[in-house]
Amino acid sequence: MISRKFGPNVRIAKVLTDIPLDIDHPVEFGVKLFCEMCRKCSNACPVKAIANEKPQSEAPNISSHKAITKWTVNAEKCFKFWVGSNSDCAICIRVYPYNKDYSKWWNRVGIKLANSPLRSLMLWLNDAVGFGIRMQPETWWNRNSN
């Protein structure tokens, strides 16, 4: 799920209530068009666990989500890679252009560009500033301790 305000940085939680609520619907704001152009996640995946063709509702295996038309992750390929690496991976998350800190104004401008006809400019800017490049651990720690 990608929100217009927070990108993919959203985690769903349950709240139990008896308040009468209206059911809303998915909001289209250009993500699919951006993803069709980008494909950074599937290109970067070391085991090609993210489909690179059109979105599908069929799951590649029993371990993957089904019944939603999307670029479904082949969970068995993905987790097999994790097990073989003795760690998790998250390369797809690192390179994902929507995965940004939206408390920063420039990233809020970026998501507006991504969801507009200027989406290819956003992708170019994303690469120009080096977003998604792997950092050395000390670089990351020093950056966040200042």
Judged by the rule CB under 6 A, the positions of this chain that interact with ligand SF4 are 45, 47, 49-50, 73, 78, 81, 89-92
The answer to whether 78 and 59 are in contact (CB under 8 A) is no
Residue linked to tokens 């987790």? 79
Closest separation between CB of residue 40 and ligand SF4, Å?
A: 10
Closest separation between CB of residue 108 and ligand SF4, Å?
A: 26
Closest separation between CB of residue 61 and ligand SF4, Å?
A: 14
Output 73 or 111, the one with its CB closest to ligand SF4. 73
Output 39 or 104, the one with its CB closest to ligand SF4. 39
**How far is 59 from 51, CA to CA, in rounded Å?**
10
What DSSP line would sit under 4-21, residue for residue?
TTTBT-------------
| 3-state SS assignment for residue 73 | strand
HSE of 127, CA atoms in CB hemisphere, 13 A: 7
Output 35 or 45, the one with its CB closest to ligand SF4. 45
Closest separation between CB of residue 121 and ligand SF4, Å?
A: 26
Output 1 or 90, the one with its CB closest to ligand SF4. 90
